[in-house]
Structure 1
Amino acid sequence: MQAVILAAGEGKRVRPLTRSRPKAMIPVANRPIIEYVIEALVKNGIRDIIVVVGYRKEQVTRFLNQLDVPVEVVVQNKQLGTGHALQCAESKIRDNFLLLPGDNYIDPNSIARIMDIPNSMLVKEHPNPSNFGVVMLSEGFVSRIIEKPEFSPSFMVSTGIYSFKKDVFSYIQENDLTDAISSMIGDGVQIRGIPADDWQDAIFTWDLLKMNKRLLHNLDPAREGTVSRQTIIQGSVRIGRGTTIGPNTVITGPVIIGNDCTIGPNCCILPNTSIGARVTLEPFTCIGEAIIMDDTSIGSHSRIVDTVIGERCALADHTSTCTESGLIEIEGIAARSEFGAIIGDTVKSGPFTVFKNSIIGNNVTIEGQGSLKSRYIFDNSTVI
C-alpha cells in the first residue's frame, strides 16, 4: 500500500518557530514530528511513501534522505492548500492509498484501523473543535464536514488522515481537500469515520508542550554520556553521547537530553522535558515541562517551566518563565493560552528577565531586568 504525507506547509500559527523550519520539522522529544508519522507507517508494513514538500523543502528533503526507509519526494512549488498538494502526487499514485499530515502525531494502531478500509477517515474528539474540520457522523459515516466553525455543533474533528481510492482525484476541483470530500458525500460516496486511538496536533506553539509530554511517555532510558556519581536520576531518562551531567544534579523522567550537552552542577530537570544537542545549563538552574532546542544556553539560577526555546538562544542568569493564562493574538485571532514562554531562534536576554505567557520572535534582544507578560515580541526586535 502507498502513503502520501503532506509536509509542504509552514504552519503560520506556530510562528516564530516555523520562520526557519516547516512545522513538520519541529523537534518534539528530540525528533522531527514527521519522523513519528513515517515510523507509524513502517510499523504497519507500509514502505511505499511519498512526501509532498514545499516551504523550506531543502530541510525536509535533507532529513528524509538520512532515513533508512526510501521516501519519494514531490514538490509543491506554491502552497495553495491540501487539495492542490495531493494533486502534486497524483502521477505517483497507483491504487488505494493513505493520506496523512506530516505535522501531526499518529499512533500505529490507528493507522492499522483505517488502512484496509477505502474511503474512510480517522476522527477524534477534541476540546477545541473550532480549530479543525468538525465532522458530523450518521451511523458511522460522515454526513458533513464544517471547516473551523465559530460555533461548533460537535466535538468530533477530522485528524486529516484518510484512506482513499484513486478516484478521489476526480473530485478535487478547488485547493481545499475538504471541498472534495464534501463533493464525494454529495454524490453519495460513503466516507466511514473511524475513531483514532492517539492523535496529537499542535495548533499553536504552546500545544507542542502537550505533544512533547505524550511522546516522552514512550521513551526508552539510556545513558551514553558522563554522569557524576553525585547525580540522582529517577524514571525514564535518556542521555546522549558526549553529554556531561555535573554533581548534585537531580533528573526526574521522562526526560531526554541530546548529545554534547553540559548540565550542572546543581541543576534540577523535572519531568516532560526535552533538551536538544549542545545545550548548556549553568549551575542552580531548574527546568521542567519544556522543549529546549539545539545550541541554546541558559544561565545560572534560572527557572524555566512550560516553555519552548528555539535554537542558538542565550538566556542570561536568573531568567524565569512563569506559567500564566492570557490572550495572545495569533494570525488575527485572539487565542486563550496558558504557558510560560515561547522563544524563537537566536534570542538573547539579559539577567533577571521574567517571561509570563509571552511569545518572543526570532533574533530578539532583551536587555534584562524586566518582566514580559502576555506579550508578542516580533522578530528582530530590541526590548530595552
Structure 2
Amino acid sequence: MKGLILAAGRGSRLLPISATRAKHAVPVAGVPIIARAVQSLRDAGVQDIGIVTSPSSETDLRDATQDSGHLTFIRQNEALGTGHAVLAAHAFLENEPTLLYLGDNLFEDSLSPLLLALRDAEAAIGVKAVPNPQAYGVAVVQHGRLQRLVEKPRKPESNLAACGVFAFRPSLLAHVADLAPSDRGEIEFPQALTRLMAAGGTVRAVEFSGFWSDAGTPDDLLSANTHFLAQQRPRVDGRAERSVLSGNVVIEAGALVEDSVITGPVWIGPHALVRGATLGPFVSIGAHARVDAARLHGALVDEFARILHPSRPLSRVLIGRHALVTAPSESGLQLVMGDRSVVRI
C-alpha cells in the first residue's frame, strides 16, 4: 500500500498567509498541516508515502516534514490539476493500491476504513455530512456505494461532502490517464471515479463522523487550530515565572512566560517569549514569536511574529510569520498592507 499526498496547490483562498510559503506548511496548534497529513497516513498503517510538490513549495514542505520520517518528494512542474498530480507520481505508486490524501485536509477520524473498503471495490471515497454542502463537491450515496459526484450544486441532492481522501486500486490510473481537461483546464481526479462507475466499477463511500476541515480559508484555519489545541496534553518544558497557568497549556522547550495569565488550551512554541500577557483560550504562539502586554483569544500567531503592546484585545486573529502588531504611534494608526491582506478596525 502506498500513500500519496497532493501538496502542490497554490492556496489562493489562504492569501496573504500563503503568499510566501506553501499553505500546507502553515502550522495548526503548532504542527504543520502537511505533517498532520503524514501522521494520518502512518496511523492508518501506510508507511511508504510520497508528497507531490510544486517547484516553489518543495523546500517549505521538506522543512515542515523534517521530523516525519522518510518521505518521497515528487515534482509536479505545472499546476494542471489533481489528476495530473497523481499521474506525476505514477512511477512511485509502482502498481500498488494507494491511499490518496489532498494535503490541505485535516481529519480526526482514522483513515483505515478506506483501506478496508477496497476489499470489495475498485476505489473508495471519504465523505462527511456538512450543513452547507453547496460549498463542496457533493457525494450522492446509496447503500454505501457512490452513485455520482456533483461539484458545488445549487440544490444539493445530499448533505455529504467529498472530503479530500480516497483509496484506489491500480486499475483506476488508466481512467485518470484518459481524462480530458475540465472547464478549468485541469485534470480532475474525482472525474476518474465517474468513469470507473460508468464502466461498471464499484466506489465505496466511507462516512466520517469526527472533525474535518479543508483548512482552505483563514476561518477554517482558526477553527482547526481551536480543535487541535483542545486535543493536546498539558506539558511545560519551557519556563513559566510569576505567571498563572490553568487548563490545557503546553510550553515548549526554550520558551519563556513571565508575569502572564495563560488559560488553556494554549500552545507556546519553542523559544517564544511571552511577557505581561493574557492568553487564551485557544491560542497558539509560534516558535521564536514575542508577545508583550497583549490580550489574545482564539488566535494563531506564527513563528517570529511580534505582538507588542497593542491598544486593544485581539480575538479571532491569524498573524503570519515575521508580522508586527503594535500600538499606534503618536502620529496615529499605521497600516502596511500587502496584497490580499485583511484588516477590520
**TM-score, scaled to structure 1:** 0.80
Amino acid at match of 2:19: R
Aligned to 1:279: 289
Amino acid at match of 2:79: Q
Higher relative contact order (CA 8 A, sep 6+): 2
Q: Going by fraction, where is strand more abundant, 1 or 2? A: 1
* 1:297 equivalenced with 2:309 (yes/no): no
* 1:135 equivalenced with 2:136 (yes/no): no
Q: Aligned partners of 1:350 and 1:196: how far apart in 2?
A: 54
Amino acid at match of 2:100: L
How big is each residue's C-alpha offset from its partner over 1:95-116, in whole Å with a ceiling of 9 and x where there is no partner?
2111011111123x43111112
**Gaps (5+ residues) in structure 1?**
319-348, 354-364, 368-375
CA apart distance, 1:290: 0.6
Q: Aligned partners of 1:315 and 1:15: how far apart in 2?
A: 18
How big is each residue's C-alpha offset from its partner over 1:209-261, in whole Å with a ceiling of 9 and x where there is no partner?
11011111221211122211x311111111122222112x2111110001222
* 1:14 equivalenced with 2:27 (yes/no): no
2:32 touches 2:64 (CA, 8 Å); kept in 1?
Answer: no
Amino acid at match of 2:297: G
Q: In structure 2, do the counterparts of structure 1 residues 351 and 252 end up closer, same or farther at CA, with 3 Å as the change threshold? A: farther
Q: Aligned partners of 2:45 and 2:2: how far apart in 1?
A: 10
What percentage of residue pairs aligned between the two structures are identical? Answer: 27
Q: Aligned partners of 1:305 and 1:59: how far apart in 2?
A: 28
For residues 1-384 of structure 1, the aligned pairs below 5 Å read 1-54=1-54, 55-64=56-65, 66-93=66-93, 94-107=95-108, 109-118=109-118, 119-172=123-176, 173-174=179-180, 175-198=187-210, 199-228=212-241, 230-247=242-259, 249-265=260-276, 267-283=277-293, 285-300=294-309, 301-317=311-327, 366=335, 378=339
Q: Aligned partners of 1:350 and 1:9: how far apart in 2?
A: 43
Q: Aligned partners of 1:104 and 1:81: how far apart in 2?
A: 16
RMSD of the alignment, in Å? 2.3
Q: Aligned partners of 2:330 and 2:167: how far apart in 1?
A: 51
Q: Aligned partners of 1:290 and 1:134: how far apart in 2?
A: 31
2:213 touches 2:220 (CA, 8 Å); kept in 1?
Answer: no
2:305 touches 2:323 (CA, 8 Å); kept in 1?
Answer: yes
1:37 touches 1:102 (CA, 8 Å); kept in 2?
Answer: yes
Q: In structure 2, do the counterparts of structure 1 residues 149 and 69 end up closer, same or farther at CA, with 3 Å as the change threshold? A: same
